[in-house]
Amino acid sequence: MIRLLKLTTAVLVLWSLYWLAAGYGLRSGITGWFDTQAQRGWQAEYANVSSGGYPTRHVTRLAAPALADPATGLAWSADWLSFESPAIWPGRQVLRVSPDAQRISFFDRTSTIFAADLEARLDLAPGLALELRELALEGAAWRIQQDGADVVAADTLHLQMIQTETPETYRMGFEAAGFRPGVQIRQVMGAAKDVPDQFEALVLDVDVQFDTIWDRGALEQRRPQPRHIDLKRVEAQWGPMRLKAAGALDVDEAGIPSGAVNLKAENWRDMIEMAEFSGALPASAVDSVVRVLGMLAGLGGNPEDLDIQINFRDGFVAFGPLPLGPAPRLIIR
pTM for the structure as a whole: 0.75
pLDDT over 90, % of the chain? 51
Distance, CA of 91 to chain centre: 21
Q: What is the CA radius of gyration of the chain?
A: 24
Task: Kindly tell me if the per-residue pLDDT of 284 is higher than 80.
Answer: no
Confidence of residue 268 (pLDDT cuts 50, 70, 90): confident
pLDDT the model gives residue 235: 94
pLDDT for the residue 103:
92
pLDDT at residue number 191: 65
The rounded distance, in Å, linking the Cα atoms of 158 and 163 is 17
Say if strands 132-139 and 119-124 run parallel, antiparallel, or are unpaired.
antiparallel
Query: pLDDT tens, 90-129?
Result: 778 898 998 888 999 988 788 999 998 989 898 988 877 8
Average pLDDT, the chain: 88
Residue 187, pLDDT above cutoff 80: no
Q: Write the Ramachandran bin of 218: left for phi over 0, alpha for psi from -120 to 50, otherwise beta.
A: alpha
Contact in structure between 94 and 85 (CB atoms under 8 Å): yes
In this predicted structure, what is the pLDDT of residue 289? 76
The pLDDT assigned to 211 comes to 94
Q: Chain centroid to CA 86: how far?
A: 25
Backbone angles phi, psi at 3, to 5 degrees: -65, -40
Q: What is the pLDDT of residues 217-250, one digit of tens each?
A: 887 788 999 999 999 999 999 888 899 999 999 9
Please give the full DSSP string across 158-190, using - where no structure is assigned. EEEEEE-SSTTEEEEEEE-TT-EE-HHHHHHHT
The stretch 73-102 carries a mean pLDDT of 89
**pLDDT score, position 143:** 93
- Neighbouring C-beta atoms of residue 221, cutoff 10 Å: 9
- For residue range 289-324, what is the model confidence (pLDDT) as tens digits? 788 778 777 766 677 788 889 999 999 998 777 787
